[in-house]
Amino acid sequence: MTSLTLFDTMARRKRDFEPTDPGRVTMYVCGPTVYSYAHIGNARPAVVFDTLFRVLRRLYGADQVIYARNITDVDDKIIETARESGKPIEDITTHYADIYRADMGALGVTLPTIEPHATDHIPEMIGMVQNLVYGGHAYEADGHVLFDVASYEKYGRLSNRDLDDMIAGARVEVASYKRNPADFVLWKPAKDDEPGWESPWGRGRPGWHLECSAMSEKHLGKTIDIHGGGTDLVFPHHENEIAQSVCAHKGAPMANYWLHNGFLTMGTDKMSKSLGNVQLVHELIKDHPGEVLRYALLTAHYRAPLTWTADLLAKTRRSLDRVYGVLRRLGDVEATPGDVPAAFLEALHDDLNTPKALSELFQLAGNANKAVSDVEKARAKGELLAAASLLGLGQSDPDAWFGLTDLDPAERAKIDDLIIRRQTAREGKDWATADAVRDELNALKVQVDDGPEGSTWRKLD
Ligand SMILES: [Zn+2]
């Protein structure tokens, strides 16, 4: 059995994963701010950490892994959206949180164990700020409470920056009431028409970074095993979470492993709202099965950038067609419940190497396709399904995948027969027959697409 290794951003190297308590493995991933639809770049961490969640549950037991992914439901952008639409804030946040859950569900993302909402944790956040003020790590200025970065000597360690560079950097907001330009807001005053809570510093609301520190402690503990998120969160968000939590907890580390997924790019640009090049999950799932999108997100190693193209989706669809084609051929075979094959597992255990795992999955599909005896077929199908499920793939009904569920057996058999005839004709370079059979298939509302890597087909509604 190979052990799980994970690349720890803090250590800047792969480390063997050893949870503090194998009976209670804890993971926190920064979740969405719910004021609009998630784009496919936002879905990448959800899918990556869902895959890790599956791997951890397999290793430690389904009930032994506690995964928290928060909902940020108080934020400037939410307030602005509510103002523009004239709707109450709760309507906006409930609406988009529901859509987020449904969209991620379509991508096969399992619900996390806990989904804490920021607005349900205001007393905990106020308590943490008080703790930081008493400890000399935070100060009140102009109605705000700010974290004093100079009070934490390891500030900048995660992102490998030093304080002087940060002060020179443009990303920190400079306000006159700050002692140091890199000091960040823990609590800020709320205007009368903004959501706010009474606090020792007047009516106000929490800073974004504070939310995660308070919710992570409340649900998972002072030091957790894994903290994850997109690489864009390393600085300042995670750096600030660490500063708050470590200083509030007398030096206890916030997390033992820090994991970050890479960007999703459109050509050479990062996909982002500000660049106007976003593709919304909500729209993509109208044109593609969610499983195709999930698979596409797993084609690159999670730490590498992933270039999102139409071609990637077409290729991904063909790959899944192959897997489901094999499962469909073995439709009558009862799979032997097997363990996940070693080579496949080794790939995932090597810092979640999903491209390697996907190529192993194809190997398994090939084995299942070549299996001759009933015993071999049952075992190969079992291995294929067990491996695929760790990636959150391959669990749909193969007939449904090809659009065949509502057909009577005779029509289904006729389509199968035509598909085989066409394949044989193409292999024999008998293009005239292949075209004639395609017309017959089209007449049965079966769409056939030929590509450089073979043909795909599916029954249209
Ligand atoms: Zn966070």
Q: Are residues 231 and 339 in the same domain?
A: no
In the structure, what pLDDT confidence band is assigned to residue 168 with cuts at 50, 70 and 90?
low
328 and 447 belong to one structural domain: no
282 and 388 co-located in one domain: yes
- Domain boundary residue, one of 384, 400, 416: 400
Question: Treating both helix axes as pointing N-terminal to C-terminal, what angle do 208-220 and 239-248 enclose, rounded to 10 degrees?
Answer: 50
The two most distant CA atoms of the chain are separated, in Å, by: 83
Q: Which of 352, 377, 400 marks a domain boundary?
A: 400
Q: Domain range for residue 173?
A: 5-261
Q: How far is the CA of 255 from the centre of ligand 1 (A)?
A: 12
**pLDDT, the chain, mean:** 93
**3 state SS for 394-416:** CCCCHHHHCCCCCCCHHHHHHHH
Same domain, yes or no: 167 and 211: yes
Report pLDDT digits (tens) over 35-93. Answer: 999 999 999 999 999 999 999 999 999 999 999 999 999 999 999 999 999 999 999 99
Number of domains comprising the chain: 3
pLDDT at site 174 = 60
Tokens matching residue 373:
């005896």
Q: Are residues 377 and 433 in the same domain?
A: no
Residue where one domain finishes, among candidates 240, 261, 282: 261
180 and 38 fall within a common domain: yes
Residues 342 and 412 in one domain: no
pLDDT value at 144 more than 60: yes
125 CA to middle of ligand 1, Å?
13
pLDDT tens digits along 184-219? 999 999 999 899 999 999 999 999 999 999 999 999
Residue among 323, 328, 329 at smallest CA distance from 357: 323
CA of 42 to the centre of ligand 1 (A): 14
49 and 196 belong to one structural domain: yes
Q: Give the pLDDT confidence of 4-33 residue by residue, as tens digits.
A: 999 999 999 999 999 999 999 999 999 999
**φ/ψ of residue 287, rounded to 5:** -105, -15
For residue 98, the CA-to-ligand 1 centroid distance in Å is 20
Looking at residue 246, what is its pLDDT? 98
pLDDT-based confidence at residue 162 (cuts at 50, 70, 90): confident
Quickly state the pLDDT bin for 2 (edges 50, 70, 90).
confident
- For residue 308, the domain's CATH number is 1.10.730.10
**Judgement on whether residues 257 and 357 belong to the same structural domain of the protein:** no
Is residue 219 left, alpha or beta, with left meaning phi > 0 and alpha meaning psi from -120 to 50? alpha
Do 91 and 60 lie in one domain? The reply is: yes
Residues 56 and 12 in one domain: yes
The binding site for Zn(2+) consists of 30, 212, 237, 241
Residue 320 CA to ligand 1 center (angstroms) comes to 34
Nearest CA-CA partner of 26 in 189, 232, 257 = 257
pLDDT at 277 over 90: no
Tell me the per-residue pLDDT of 101-142, one tens digit each, with 9 for 90 and over. Answer: 999 999 999 999 999 999 999 999 999 999 999 999 999 998
Q: Identify the CATH number of the domain in which residue 94 sits.
A: 3.40.50.620
DSSP per-residue string spanning 411-452 = HHHHHHHHHHHHHHHHHTT-HHHHHHHHHHHHHTTEEEEEET
CB under 8 Å to 416, separation ≥6 — which residues? none
Q: Kindly state whether residues 316 and 415 are assigned to the same domain.
A: no
How many residues can be counted in the chain? Answer: 461
Instruction: Give the distance (Å) from ligand 1 centre to CA of residue 32.
Output: 9
Residues ≥6 apart with Cβ < 8 Å to 313: 288, 292, 293, 296
Asked whether 208 and 31 are in contact (CB, 8 A), the reply is no
Q: Give me the phi and psi of 25, to 5 degrees please.
A: -90, 130
